[in-house]
Amino acid sequence: MPNAALVVQADDTELQSDIVAELVKQMRALDTYDTQKDWPDAQVIDPYVLTKERKQAIPIVGDPDEITMARVKAYYNALATLIEKRSGLMAVPVINLTHEGFGRAFIIVGKLIVADKTLRDVHRFGFASLAKLNEEAGKVLEKAQGLIGQFPEVANA
C-alpha cells in the first residue's frame, strides 16, 4: 500500500540507480540506533526529495540541523565511493561548511579535484525528485570520470 507521507514509493524505478543504492547504504550506516532498521529503501531515501511543497515548509533562512548536515555528507560520501569504484582510485570527499550552512564540497582523487560544488542554504538541501537526484549525481560522476581520464597523471599523484 502506498505511504501517503512519502514522496518516494517502493516501486519507483529510480530506486535502482547506483547512487541511490549507495546513499541508502550510507544512511543505514549512520542509523546507529537501528531506528530505520525496518524501513524500506524508499523510506530511507525519501528525505533527499524536497518537493516544492516540502521546500515551502522550510524557512528561507535557517541553520542546518545535524540530520541535514549528515545527509549532505552522505551524498558526497556516496559520490566519492562511486567514483572510487569506477576509477579504481581513492576518492576523498572534503566538505567545508559554516554552521550557517554555507560552504563548499570537493571530491579529490590524487591531486585532482574531480568535483567542486558551492553549497548554499544547506538547511534546504534536497532534490526536486528522485529522478533529479539521479540526473545530478550522474552529471557529477560523468564529469569526474572525464577529468580522471583527461588527467590520469594528476589523479594518480
List of residues contacting its own copies (CB under 8 A): 94-96, 104, 106, 108, 111-114, 116, 147, 151, 153-154
- Smallest distance, Å, CB 26 to its own copies? 19
Classify the phi-psi angles of 76: left when phi > 0, otherwise alpha if psi is within -120 to 50, otherwise beta: alpha
Give the residue among 102, 86, 66, 98 at the shortest CA–CA distance from 18.
86
- Smallest distance, Å, CB 88 to its own copies? 19
- Smallest distance, Å, CB 153 to its own copies? 7
- Smallest distance, Å, CB 148 to its own copies? 11
Locate cell 529510480: which residue?
14
Between 18 and 100, whose beta carbon lies closer to its own copies?
Answer: 100
Between 55 and 104, whose beta carbon lies closer to its own copies?
Answer: 104
Between 55 and 143, whose beta carbon lies closer to its own copies?
Answer: 143
- Smallest distance, Å, CB 130 to its own copies? 30
Dihedral (C-alpha) 85, 104, 140, 93: value to the nearest 10 degrees?
0
